[in-house]
């Protein structure tokens, strides 16, 4: 049995770690969201097991959203990759679980401390009705932030 660490968006446990990859199981709670962050050297791979998660990524001046959906008949896809140096955040629409795998990008081995956070994560009491619309980041206190709104808080 692996030890799960509590997070504001749920919990996570490292289930396998080697120089060339690190695998984590995530239990995700509806309304939870992680920090806006990036990894300088490693690649993230998210795979949804159950639930629905939006992964928002910043590419230059624009935000793009990938919906991860465990329902094969639902809108979205089962997994996505995030390259090094891409700021990103996941936002939990429907609770469940997912797997996160780190692999080397611009490095020879995984550094588990390779994370640069711009905000902290949190949990919303209710899911905004416009989550289907334009992508946005959630800042430290749960306010929407889009490019051009100024610095993240």
Q: Is 132 a domain residue?
A: no
Half-sphere exposure of 20 (CA within 13 A, CB side): 0
Say what the pLDDT of residue 138 is. Answer: 77
Q: Which residue has the tokens 């939990």?
A: 92
Residue 26: give the domain boundaries.
5-126
By CB neighbour count within 10 A (0-12 exposed, 13-18 middle, 19+ buried), where does 44 fall? Answer: buried
Q: Is 15 a domain residue?
A: yes
**pLDDT above 80: residue 122:** yes
Q: For the chain, what is the domain count?
A: 1
Q: Tell me the pLDDT of the chain averaged across its residues.
A: 86
Which one is predicted more confidently, 106 or 57?
57
User: In this structure, what CATH number is given to the domain that contains residue 83?
Assistant: 2.60.120.10
Q: Is 72 a domain residue?
A: yes
Q: Is 104 a domain residue?
A: yes
pLDDT tens, position by position, 63-103: 899 999 998 788 889 999 999 999 999 999 999 999 999 99
Q: What is d(CA 102, CA 134) in angstroms, rounded to the nearest whole number?
A: 28
Say what the pLDDT of residue 150 is. Answer: 46
Q: What is d(CA 67, CA 63) in angstroms, rounded to the nearest whole number?
A: 13
């Amino acid at each position: 049995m692996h030890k799960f660490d509590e997070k504001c968006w749920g919990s996570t446990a490292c289930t396998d770690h080697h120089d060339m990859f690190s695998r984590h199981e995530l239990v995700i709670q509806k309304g939870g969201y992680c920090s806006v962050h990036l990894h300088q050297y490693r690649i993230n791979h998210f795979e949804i097991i159950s639930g629905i998660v939006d992964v928002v990524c910043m590419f230059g001046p624009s935000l793009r959203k990938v919906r991860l959906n465990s329902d094969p008949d639902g809108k979205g896809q089962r997994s996505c990759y995030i390259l090094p140096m891409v700021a990103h955040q996941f936002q939990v629409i429907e609770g469940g679980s997912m797997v996160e795998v780190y692999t080397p990008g611009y490095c020879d081995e995984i550094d588990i401390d390779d994370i640069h956070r711009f905000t902290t994560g949190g949990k919303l009491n209710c899911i905004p009705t416009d989550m289907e619309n334009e992508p946005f980041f959630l800042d430290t206190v749960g306010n929407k932030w889009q490019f051009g709104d100024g610095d993240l808080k």
